[in-house]
Structure 1
């Protein structure tokens, strides 16, 4: 462990209440957590780790070879484990990974002994909010144990400043008062990392002329879209810069600002937000993928977006399509014939109508043609400049390649493994082929796939035939796209003559054989996997093909932990590129985030009690909480005592949302159970099915909502469908201009109308946010009895002997007969239940006299209507 890491642990242990640690991106959180685990003793109680990703779990559980201590390996607590087994694990004093949904349910049901948990370790603290399940757990744990601590970690400083006083709000909801900031420019951190730095070679690779033209065109188009977005006057223009547009979070920031008024925006403004995301991908893919794959992606955009996009009609956008096409091929107007070059056999194919003739000659590769009019397809297949540099560096560093791959078991301190780091797995696979073959061969293979994909669409090849050696799983970049018959004057499209030349080239493809070569000791790593590979492979040379700030810090820590190891690092940058600009901007953004956190730390106010512990937000369920004024009533000049605590029975699956946390904050008692009917039971008669907007659309599409409402109506007198909107989004399905007068099968309003018509007793409740839902629940529970947990669990579950108790007797009812009864004349929502209680079947109902019907139906008029209908004779059919 490095000295600055030891100092972090020391500072964290000073406060028995815990704290929040914010590190620079790439500094090893798993090392700090593993060090905290080494200090844990079973006699203190169990230590629970929350919100850890799969990669973080594997890193924490992996033994550190440089440590002399026996590691403490945490184990997972699965959700399907019986409750009494989980209680035994909580009391064992060990360390466990546990999901927040399981832990909060066990805390609410008293399956966790109060003194058995010594503390919580929460990872990815930047994702926490006031209503998150982790904050719910911290509040419950604080009410059960005064000695338990909470320690949170994050390496995303820019996410800690998103929103107003986010760091302070996170600390309050976790009941901690210490904020530990450890940026890269900290004196201790910089001193440790710069004591034995690796040998760094900064390789600036010039972009090709076409790549520079595409980049400039994309930036100009992005700037034009930003200018149009500024005209709306509904977005903070300070953040609308091209530099911020290079980051993925930019899309989220813009959308977060527009979400509350999204339904009032025009189609053009909404499309501009989507176009900015597309343009950012175009810049990213330009330096990540080869020329053919990039052209294929543009083809998909031409088909998928079409006339809807705003950017595609910008003044400079035509250059993107034109230059991307010139990087792969050129269709040259020539005289008479179309010549397709076969570079392997040095032959040419002349295409005259449907006839193919073979000819030989050296003039084919130079595009020499005959005297009649036609189109010549000239292959360009521009290779990636970085790939050429990578191949040169490969030959310089590898003098005696070893056969086969090197495993992690036979590595040593003087390992000669070369690690090539890319952003995604597709780039890793393609670079590996470039090492084994040649960049030109790889480009030829991609070119052949591109041509054959177009031939498949027009029926020249069977579309169900699988293309060999093509990696799958890369989303929109897979497969072929449709070819539009656009005019030849439009550079964004493909002319008919050019299309014919492409198909002719596809018909002449001959598979190129590849000679097997010995694989050098090179390992490829994709940054999207988010794994700690440096300690596993222990490379001596690292080639950073796609620079990333997080991985740069990992390299620094790896070298600082191994000062005697010789390590050489190559950084490959495209000179004067958006890639370099994004890398430098990410460093500035992180430093700015830490400066903002330092200012917040000096000004924040965290309330504490007499013992120096953070008070945090209080609720009615806590003994020392302050009762809000609206919960008290005056009576004869005095105040009435607070009534008993409200109770809400909640389905276990609902703990994936934040509503149970908000209900608990409002002072309601939460009882987690497994419900077969509904999501929330508010009283013996009120059952609520909660739907978010996304879930509502999905439930209608699958038909699940119809079944859920049907079962609620069968068992409860007041079934409620709660439609809950997000607080930061518009309280509307769509704009008023989009609402039509006609009924449509695809309209969500029409579907809701049909649902209400089919189930008249169903009540719809619209909620603006989770806090509004809590207020609605409190009003619905007014003057209602509290629900019975045991009865609610049995609803919808038949007993073993088939007998259903009175409180859940609806299961014995004939639902078809009930529907028929409710449609009879004189039968209403207020009298159909007495009719059901007064007779056993429809046959018995038909024999009841008018006097008995009037007694059951509450009046002579509805009784006569029903009696006349039952006694009416059917007309004789001719």
Structure 2
């Protein structure tokens, strides 16, 4: 085996592959998007470009998740012949001030894009000295994703900007691929498929098999029952004049179109019949999903879905659509029938058979079973663990749902490591295992159901056939949505290859990113302010607001952004003006959700600031939720009359930013007032006070404070803990542990 030789690459650590060298050579000439199948070393291409550009400045590798960042950073420390201190990994668990110090000395930075976006907006870092940026999983560079903003800033600030986008699947439409290229400033496209001569020696055959199962008669009977409910709801829509009387079914796309049309009508003429139609459409979505679950996932998964609907229906603020469905005698009969079914769903038997066959053939095999649903992942894991020789483990995301606790990133890492070592030989995974994670090549991939996305399908298939021949088995329920999804995805994959081939020839037609800023969409609001000068207002923004485009727009307008953890409000503009921003959806959620106490937030706002303001963003306040207009008017009256808080309505994040910018300039330049963070919320519970005490230590945010308290159970235990004990907590590193000990155990010198 030949290895890469380079002054910055450790000897005999990176295999030499001609196609990777060719791709890197091209990517050094101009900003390039490299499309390469999973498992063929996209990261190596990035490495080869990075070591050449390191002579000119820092290099930055962006990846969408914390596990991917840690994986890439570990790889670079292993192969690069530079000090490990000069290779840093940035995630949200590292405090901003510490990131600022690390950035100044680092040569190679690996980070999630949200962290870099935050630091750019706050002015903690600049991209001026960055010689190269790699965008991992570049297909994400659409809409408001952080990649888009970072690329824009890089081409505005960089001395000699050069970017590399890497992905296995950029999308099936020309428009999607063009959007990615334009957003990242890409001017050249390099594509390699498994059939290219220079790739072929490194690719192994992947056998794809289809296993068709029959839907049990009991489930067909249930489907008829559910479809009778669906037919009734469709008829009601027809009676309301929303659809044609002859329409018996609507596709999901058609339903979404009807929903949007109804929302537009509500904005113009809010009538009772239209509200009724909106709720019926919500019911149709739920019934359609139930029918699909019953066909493709089986009775147990469908029972769990109905349990969640029942929980939603019985909870305060639950949707009326759920309540009406669960009150329907036919739905109750369906649930009763489901609970009496004791036969195993055929897909469960099929997946047990396929995995057992693989493990019997080769006891050292590694298998991944992919499923779209968490409920199914649990059912499949339990079933596989009854098979001799199979050691299955469930692998899901971090979010916790009703009766389903997610996995922390540490737990995910531990499971992957155990899978590598052979403690488990079968991973039953949801979409979390599709993208980028360092999961070893497997011998068998099972699709419990086809996935309706060509990008996800390609990522799943890429988990096998890397080092030897791989096998892919797709389970499909005959006559169900499974078949439609499979052929739709197959066509999309073919279309993607076709579009990429076309774009290789015509990418020059795509205009590279312009470095000039776009015109503000709400320019008329800014015409009332003075001409541009260098005295830009300073605005403190709560770090959670970074998810909205408002902060990016304020930065574009020229505001000096300070991202902080604000206890009160979202935007502090002066010592007397603080703004709470709510989208219409956020505001309406506080009406139905007891856990979101708007009045406590507003009380803290008025207690701390002389001129509090509430911005309500969006133009669908009376149509987004099925809440009576009088209830909404009552809420607005309470805010303005009882809390004395003026309300400003805006239609978009851009208009919100323009209003905030104008008020900040008026306060700071006209009134000569400076922004201060003196707001303090009322601690109402013991838990909140405990979290506040721990989070008041520098370098510790609310998330880390909660983790420490969950681990040690009390403040006393945290204060008494050793450095080693503290670092056992996820997100607590050596420096943070040292800081906790210093603050809590040093003698007071007052």
TM-score (ref. length: structure 2): 0.64
The verdict on how the C-alpha distance between 1:233 and 1:169 changes in structure 2, with shifts beyond 3 A counting, is farther
Partner in structure 1 of residue 549 of structure 2: 658
1:135 aligned to which of 128, 144, 148: 148
Partner in structure 1 of residue 466 of structure 2: 561
| CA RMSD across the alignment | 5.6
1:46 aligned to which of 55, 58, 67: 58
The verdict on how the C-alpha distance between 1:251 and 1:150 changes in structure 2, with shifts beyond 3 A counting, is farther
Does 2:719 correspond to 1:758? Answer: no
Separation in 2 of the partners of 1:670 and 1:770?
A: 16
Separation in 2 of the partners of 1:3 and 1:234?
A: 60
Does 2:620 correspond to 1:730? Answer: yes
Describe how 1:55-204 pairs up with structure 2 within 5 A. Answer: 55-57=67-69, 60=72, 75-79=88-92, 81=94, 85-108=98-121, 110-112=123-125, 114-123=127-136, 125=138, 127-128=140-141, 132-153=145-166, 157=170, 168=178, 171-178=181-188, 188=196, 192=200, 196-204=204-212
Separation in 2 of the partners of 1:93 and 1:52?
A: 20
Describe how 1:385-784 pairs up with structure 2 within 5 A. Answer: 385-393=346-354, 415-417=364-366, 420-424=369-373, 426-431=375-380, 433-434=382-383, 437=386, 523-530=426-433, 538-548=441-451, 553=458, 557=462, 560-562=465-467, 565-592=468-495, 607=511, 614-618=513-517, 642-643=532-533, 646-653=536-543, 654-672=545-563, 678-682=569-573, 686-697=577-588, 705-706=598-599, 709=602, 713=606, 717-725=610-618, 730-732=620-622, 738-740=628-630, 747-760=631-644, 762-777=645-660, 779-780=662-663
User: SS where residue 553 of structure 2 aligns?
Assistant: helix
Shift of 1:145: 1.8
Separation in 1 of the partners of 2:601 and 2:156?
A: 36
Shift of 1:724: 1.6
Describe how 1:220-299 pairs up with structure 2 within 5 A. Answer: 245=252, 260-261=264-265, 264=270, 266-287=274-295, 289-292=297-300, 294-295=302-303, 297-298=305-306
CA contact (8 A) 2:128 2:159 kept: no
Shift of 1:6: 3.3
Between 1:93-102 and 1:227-236, the stretch displaced more is 227-236
Shift of 1:641: 6.9
Does 2:100 correspond to 1:210? Answer: no
Does 2:50 correspond to 1:32? Answer: no
The verdict on how the C-alpha distance between 1:667 and 1:542 changes in structure 2, with shifts beyond 3 A counting, is closer
Partner in structure 1 of residue 396 of structure 2: none
1:61-80 CA distance string (max 9 Å, x none): 5759xx99889997432456
Separation in 2 of the partners of 1:533 and 1:139?
A: 25
Q: Considering fraction of residues, name the structure with more helix.
A: 2
1:724-766 CA distance string (max 9 Å, x none): 22xxx625466999333xxxxxx34323322322344x32211
Partner in structure 2 of residue 369 of structure 1: none
Partner in structure 2 of residue 6 of structure 1: 20
CA contact (8 A) 1:219 1:242 kept: no
User: SS where residue 105 of structure 2 aligns?
Assistant: coil
Separation in 2 of the partners of 1:535 and 1:86?
A: 25
Aligned length: 618
Separation in 2 of the partners of 1:79 and 1:751?
A: 36
Gaps of 5+ in 2: 1-14, 389-398, 405-421, 682-750
Radius of gyration: which is bigger?
A: 1
CA contact (8 A) 2:537 2:560 kept: yes
Separation in 2 of the partners of 1:657 and 1:588?
A: 35
Shift of 1:284: 4.0
CA contact (8 A) 1:422 1:525 kept: yes
TM-score (ref. length: structure 1): 0.56
CA contact (8 A) 2:292 2:480 kept: no
The verdict on how the C-alpha distance between 1:543 and 1:102 changes in structure 2, with shifts beyond 3 A counting, is closer
Describe how 1:848-863 pairs up with structure 2 within 5 A. Answer: none
1:326-382 CA distance string (max 9 Å, x none): 6764xxxxxxxxxxxxxxxxxxxxxxxxxxxxxxxxxxxxxxxxxxxxxxxxxx622
User: SS where residue 137 of structure 1 aligns?
Assistant: helix
The verdict on how the C-alpha distance between 1:8 and 1:250 changes in structure 2, with shifts beyond 3 A counting, is farther
Separation in 1 of the partners of 2:291 and 2:494?
A: 24
The verdict on how the C-alpha distance between 1:243 and 1:325 changes in structure 2, with shifts beyond 3 A counting, is same
Separation in 1 of the partners of 2:250 and 2:24?
A: 39
Separation in 2 of the partners of 1:750 and 1:311?
A: 25
Separation in 1 of the partners of 2:32 and 2:46?
A: 13
User: SS where residue 635 of structure 2 aligns?
Assistant: helix
Shift of 1:768: 1.2
User: SS where residue 675 of structure 2 aligns?
Assistant: helix
Shift of 1:617: 5.0
Separation in 2 of the partners of 1:253 and 1:75?
A: 47
The verdict on how the C-alpha distance between 1:424 and 1:173 changes in structure 2, with shifts beyond 3 A counting, is closer
Shift of 1:40: 1.8
User: SS where residue 669 of structure 2 aligns?
Assistant: coil
Separation in 1 of the partners of 2:198 and 2:478?
A: 27
Separation in 2 of the partners of 1:194 and 1:211?
A: 45
The verdict on how the C-alpha distance between 1:665 and 1:475 changes in structure 2, with shifts beyond 3 A counting, is closer
1:381 aligned to which of 327, 342, 349: 342
